[in-house]
Amino acid sequence: MAASLTTSAVADVDVDVLIVGGGPVGLNLAYQLRRFSSPPINPNPSAEPISVHVVEMHPKPVQENFGRAVTFWPRSMEILAQMGLAEQITQQCVAVRSSAAYDMSGTEVFGRGWSFVEGLEDTRFTFASVLRQKFVEDIFRAELAKLGVNVAENCKFVDLTVDESVEVGGKGRVKARILDGSAGGGQEREYTVNCRYLIGCDGSRTLVRGAAGIESDGDRTEDKWVRIDGVLKSTTMPKPRSYGAIESPLYGNVLWIPLDHGATRIGFALNDERRKLYKELNQEIFIQEAKLSVKPFEIEYERVDWASVYSVGQRVARNFWAKESVFIAGDAAHSHSSGAGQGMNAGMHDAVNLGWKLALVLTGVLKREVLETYELERRPNARKLIKYDEDISVLVSGRLPKDWQGDKTEDPNVVLGRILQEAKGFNTGLTIGFEPNIAVSRDDSTEDADLVAKRTIIPAPAIAGYRAPDVRVLTPALWEPVWLHTLMANLARFYVLIFIGKSAEAKSSFGQMKEDVQKNQHLKLERVPGTAAETNGVHLNGSSASQPRRWPVDFLTILPEKVGNAWFELGTDPLGRVYYDGDGSSVYQRYGVEVESGAVFVVRPDGWIGARFALGSKSLVDEIDAYLGGLLYR
């Protein structure tokens, strides 16, 4: 029976942002937008938090609870840590630090499969964090509920219109029709969401992308992959809690992942020959094929949580936003196989890139043109991922890519292991970077040929457009180690990171910098340095009528060695909180800073370096002001 439809029973919804899709990407964006505009991050009691409406077409009870994405790589975990969420993930995840690859005889072979998982460095998160998507979503939903945001389930996006007579960012510029089926009984009620911005996070079968008029390029292949999650009763797999690869002549490079809560994922290619054996595919057949795929090893299931077969394909949108008001993120913007485990990670990168920008635009702090950098920064990386996945997916299926330029007789399993290892920096996210734009300053370091050549290798150089490295510094007085990223939480604020040089000239330059900062109405500190309440007086909704606008900027000062007191070393108080490099200047070395002369970095809210400056520059504060002033309203 067709569902009956009424349009009067549900009132229209007026919000700042409509998010279509209640998966990890949509939930992450909702979390950022609400959190950045709510106390205590926004301490202004008169400011209204950004209003967010999240719709999810599937009712939670019938969603596939245990399938879909499972792995966060190190950079994604750093991103989540700076949002205050990593602890909840590490409490539940399987931290996988080892790999194991086996040839068709069951003999372990080295340097193949997922060997890049081993020996991860230049990060706190030296492991793959394996936690199924259901549990990740539960974490986000719980945090959103604390912020007063709930997901509207069983609500399907229908279409959208952009009213171009309304200014960009204005109330009701975007109107979206939603069908609400939450009442049950086959009843669907239509309502309209009037919003300033809409973000489509509705997966590879996205409706938002088409409704926004955004075209995409790509296609599906003939390959079919099976994924099956469950708890094993027994197995002869020698290393069942490692990231595993079994090189099967019939099922390709078979995936083995130890999952949370004692489960295991097995993934394999199901070729035409195998598919033709069955009239239809069901869980019983998936179990049977899984047992054959891991030969010569044996498995017996205690239970199966989830099993699915899907077509492998790659697709990337030509644009990541439309009419300056509709964004797409995650699989809605770029879809690919699960061959390299990048899906949920690429989505986290999209979310962290867009989240702070949109939040600060909505709160009147950031210039609207900065939103253009979301596409400028994320689409090139998505295209790189798609090209990479085109090769990976063919190799996982047991074949060499069509355009393979190497030895045509080479074993695809050997090639796969080598490509995964060579792409270690990209796989882990630790070398993902952006070209110069309004939010990434162009300087000598971004033009240095030697540094450019090293950008894809761990550790990537600390230059504009690349991640601010996470290093251990020492706290004052106690000299206790603390990770730098924990001092630069993602609070929709910029961080000016000052490395003081040892030379008298460098210390003099710092003194001048401090004087100039205090003369700058957008940067000057207003409270006692070093206290928990220290701030430059910024409220996320901008300045009051009686005060000049102060920017959301915090200062951190790093000294090249541990001392008893920073004042006695500098002859003045540091700018902001102070920490020490207490390990033979290793912190300075990792940031590529000369110990004698020092340097200054501006780190964006998302943890990427926006600009780098010489501490000795006589126009240093003017240069910082020019960079930030290109992004933030004065």
496-543 pLDDT, tens digit each: 999 999 999 999 999 999 999 999 999 998 754 444 444 443 333 433
Percent share of the chain, pLDDT over 70: 94
- What is the per-residue burial (b if ≥16 Cβ within 10 Å, else e) of 528-554? ebeeeeebbbbbbbbbeeeeebbbbbb
More confident residue, 39 or 519: 519
What Cα–Cα distance (Å) separates residue 300 from each residue in 108, 288, 303, 500, 507? 21, 10, 9, 60, 67
Q: 444-629: which CATH topology? A: Glutaredoxin (3.40.30)
In the block, tokens 């989830």 appear at: 306
- Domain residue ranges in the chain: 5-72+131-216+315-378, 444-629
The Cα angle at residue 99 between residues 84 and 431, in degrees rounded to 5: 50
| Per-residue pLDDT at 220 | 87
CA-based nearest residue to 523, from 491, 500, 487, 553: 553
Quick one: which of 123, 7, 12 has its CA closest to 76? Answer: 123
- The type of residue at 141 is R
Q: Tell me the CATH number for domain 5-72+131-216+315-378.
A: 3.50.50.60
Residue 440: C-alpha distances to residues 345, 370, 405, 608, 624 (Å): 22, 11, 35, 9, 12
Cα 533–536–540 angle (5° rounding)?
95
Contact 17, 351 (CB under 8 A): no
Do residues 50 and 33 touch, judged by C-beta distance below 8 A?
yes
pLDDT (average), residues 261-268: 97
Q: pLDDT at position 52, please?
A: 98
Q: How confident is the model at residue 6 (pLDDT cuts 50, 70, 90)?
A: very low
Per-residue model confidence as pLDDT tens digits over 208-245? 999 999 999 998 888 999 999 999 999 999 999 999 99
Q: Which comes out higher in pLDDT, residue 554 or 448?
A: 554
Per-residue burial over 259-294, b = 16 or more CB atoms within 10 Å of its CB, e = otherwise: bbeebbbbbbbbbeebeeeeeebeeebbbebbeebb
Q: Is 306 or 47 the better-scoring residue by pLDDT?
A: 306
Kindly report the length of the chain: 634
Question: Which residue is listed with tokens 């913007």?
Answer: 333
- For the record, the structure tokens of 522 come out as 């957008």
